[in-house]
Amino acid sequence: MKPLRFLVIGAHPDDCEFKAGGLAAKCRARGDVVKFVSATNGEAGHHKIGGGPLAQRRYRETRQVAAVADIEYDVLEIPDGRLEADLATRDRFIRLIREFQPDLLFTHRPNDYHPDHRRTGILVQDASYLIRVPNICPLTPHLTRTPIILYLQDGFQKPVPFQPDIVMAIDDVIPTKARMLHCHESQIYEWLPYDGGYADEIPEGDVARLAWLQARTEQRDRAVAGRFRDQLVQRYGEADGNAVGCAEAFEVSEYGRDLPVGDIDLYFPR
């Protein structure tokens, strides 16, 4: 089978890595093509710097991620915190989806704590049919079918909780996922600890920081595996499913093409 094309559209630089870094690593190891897109430039995500200098710094961080993971990575020039689900932005989404021609497309659910996350999900939904309409954005050739669209895992319960259709073990690629996140120094070791009140936990030195981050990544993704243990057992069998330590999970969206249960292993590496 020819290499599959995976497109992950997050709202900010680092969103894709948190939710689909393991997926990206496993798919690249299989020879698939993976592209991350950040819908905004990340210029607001810091407590000391912002604007152009922060946007440029975060862009450089995405270049490092692309090198570590051997993936494509685009950042749209839309201000962080100001993403709108308007017609002009919808056209940008239509064009970027058409240009990449994904087999699978991942994004946020439209119910989420951050307005940029919600609007990213809405924009993908709004583009999902129009990417097949030739007279919409007519200078970019239309697709003849909609990709499989999936939502990235989240913990929000209202109005509807996340319900995974695919839960995949990522124990073997946790070190790669941690190195991807390690590239986002401005977020992992500065902004998020400041915002979350744990800045005093950040160790000094690159080696110590990466070890701390890998342990934290494992803890986060162990929680995903524990939350969806039944689905892991169903996919991998009782012994192997219960042995999975870390996992990522995805929910198929009705806005995209159907994903038959029998085809899950064709698309998602074990």
* Domain CATH number, residue 109: 3.40.50.10320
| pLDDT tens-digit readout, 170-198 | 999 999 999 999 999 999 999 999 999 99
Instruction: Pull the structure tokens for residue 186.
Output: 């401005």
To which residue do tokens 């990213």 refer? 120
Specify whether the CB–CB gap between 214 and 174 falls below 8 A: yes
* 230 belongs to a structural domain: no
* 35 belongs to a structural domain: yes
- H or E stretch covering 252: strand 247-252
* 93 belongs to a structural domain: yes
Residue 1 is predicted with a pLDDT of 74
* 39 belongs to a structural domain: yes
Residue 241 is predicted with a pLDDT of 98
| Interacting residues of 129 by C-beta distance below 8 A, sequence separation 6+ | 146, 255
Residue 96 is predicted with a pLDDT of 98
* 87 belongs to a structural domain: yes
**In the chain, which residues have pLDDT < 50?**
none
* 207 belongs to a structural domain: no
Task: Please indicate, yes or no, whether the overall pTM of this predicted structure exceeds 0.95.
Answer: yes
* 24 belongs to a structural domain: yes
* 240 belongs to a structural domain: no
Quick count: other Cβ atoms within 10 Å of Cβ 157?
A: 9
Domain range for 149 is 5-171+249-267
The total number of structural domains that make up the chain: 1
